[in-house]
């Protein structure tokens, strides 16, 4: 099979692992920077041109689209879809998961537990917004932040007001979320492939840090999920139509609460924590579905 990994950086751990496992299973794997692709729109003959050739021989793609190139990256994925090329994540699913508000609305409709969340077109009545999520402290997030960037813990009304005013001044859209104190700076990352859990780890933020992202100095260890946690992860994957994704959740006194679903989950932390071959699972998922 001819498989293309859409990635801007061939040296990233996840990209290299997918390349290696694909080659180990006898496939022709190519890493292509989506920003260097030309989308050619023509009646009944959609094509993509890269460097010196048309990509009309591709059987499947693995999008590793960074948040900063979501618009054009998803346009490339959509073009491959029009060419009847199998993809591990559709363009619509990627766009939906990147929009936190839209994905929360979809997940809420599916009956999935989440921290109380408020989105407002900048209200000067910060006290009212805070009351909707149960009072301070609150977590304020950029709608399009990644890897813990654009996430602020406001421990008082004054702090929340200052943060909201700052984001408003930058014309940035934000959501305000309830702070789950009993999580103690930890969350769970669950890897879903083909709608099934293939790995799970508990991430703990470094001392004094409420964000647990490994990119921000957090640590990780393997964990066995409860039945509730397993069901939440798989339901989130189905609700957002992401057969391959990373689902983040918090352990709370009222059960697991979903934080987000990532359409382009990193593999390094979870493969090292669980010692499971997640990259191979993604390649075999393509094999099953491409056939």
- 31 and 46 in contact (C-beta within 8 Å)? no
Beta bridge partners of 45: none
Q: Which residue segments constitute the domains of the chain, with CATH numbers given? A: 2-87 (3.40.50.20), 117-179 (3.30.1490.20), 182-283 (3.30.470.20)
Cα diameter, the chain: 60
Total residues found in the chain within this entry: 291
Q: Retrieve residue 145's tokens.
A: 């932040």
Q: Retrieve residue 67's tokens.
A: 């948040």
Rounded distance between C-alpha atoms, residue 111 and residue 242, angstroms: 17
Contacts of 175 (CB under 8 A, 6+ apart): 100, 101, 104, 117, 118, 119, 140, 141, 143
Q: What is the pLDDT along the chain (291 residues), one digit of tens a residue?
A: 999 999 999 999 999 999 999 999 999 999 999 999 999 998 878 999 999 999 999 999 999 998 889 999 999 999 999 999 999 999 999 999 988 888 999 999 999 999 999 987 765 677 788 888 888 899 988 876 555 567 888 888 888 888 887 887 777 778 899 999 888 888 999 999 998 999 999 988 766 555 555 555 567 889 999 999 999 999 999 999 999 999 999 999 999 999 999 999 999 999 999 999 999 999 999 999 875
pTM greater than 0.85: yes
- Can you tell me which residue has the tokens 């990635």? 7
Q: Retrieve residue 121's tokens.
A: 């077109």
* C-alpha dist (Å) from residue 60 to 18, 57, 169, 241, 282: 13, 10, 43, 18, 12
Beta bridge partners of 190: 200, 247
Q: Measuring CA to CA, which residue among 9, 21, 17 is closest to residue 1?
A: 21
The one-character DSSP state at 277 is -
Rounded distance between C-alpha atoms, residue 19 and residue 27, angstroms: 9
Neighbours of 87 (CB within 10 A): 22
Beta bridge partners of 151: 141
């Amino acid at each position: 099979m001819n498989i293309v990994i859409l990635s801007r950086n061939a040296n990233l751990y996840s990209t290299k692992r997918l390349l290696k496992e694909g080659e180990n299973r006898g496939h022709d794997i190519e890493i292509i920077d989506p920003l260097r692709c030309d989308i050619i729109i023509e009646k009944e003959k959609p094509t993509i041109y890269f460097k010196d050739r048309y990509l009309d021989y591709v059987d499947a793609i693995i999008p590793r689209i960074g948040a900063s190139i979501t618009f054009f990256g998803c346009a490339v994925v959509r073009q491959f879809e029009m060419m009847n090329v199998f993809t591990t994540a559709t363009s619509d699913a990627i766009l939906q998961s990147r929009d936190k508000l839209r994905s929360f609305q979809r997940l809420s409709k599916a009956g999935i537990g989440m921290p109380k969340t408020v989105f407002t077109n900048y209200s000067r009545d910060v006290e009212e917004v805070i009351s909707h999520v149960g009072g301070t402290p609150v977590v304020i997030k950029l709608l399009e932040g990644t890897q813990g960037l654009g996430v602020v813990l406001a421990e008082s009304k004054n702090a929340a007001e200052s943060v909201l005013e700052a984001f408003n001044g930058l014309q940035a859209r934000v959501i305000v979320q309830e702070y789950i104190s009993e999580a103690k700076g930890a969350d769970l990352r669950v890897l879903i492939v083909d709608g099934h859990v293939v790995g799970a780890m508990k991430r703990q933020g470094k001392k004094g840090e409420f964000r647990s992202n490994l990119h921000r100095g957090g640590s990780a260890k393997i964990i066995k999920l409860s039945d509730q946690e397993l069901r939440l992860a798989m339901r989130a994957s189905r609700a957002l139509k992401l057969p391959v994704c990373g689902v983040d959740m918090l352990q709370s006194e009222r059960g697991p609460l979903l934080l987000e679903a990532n359409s382009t989950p990193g593999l390094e932390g979870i493969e090292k924590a669980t010692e499971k071959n997640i990259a191979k699972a993604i390649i075999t998922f393509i094999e099953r579905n491409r056939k």
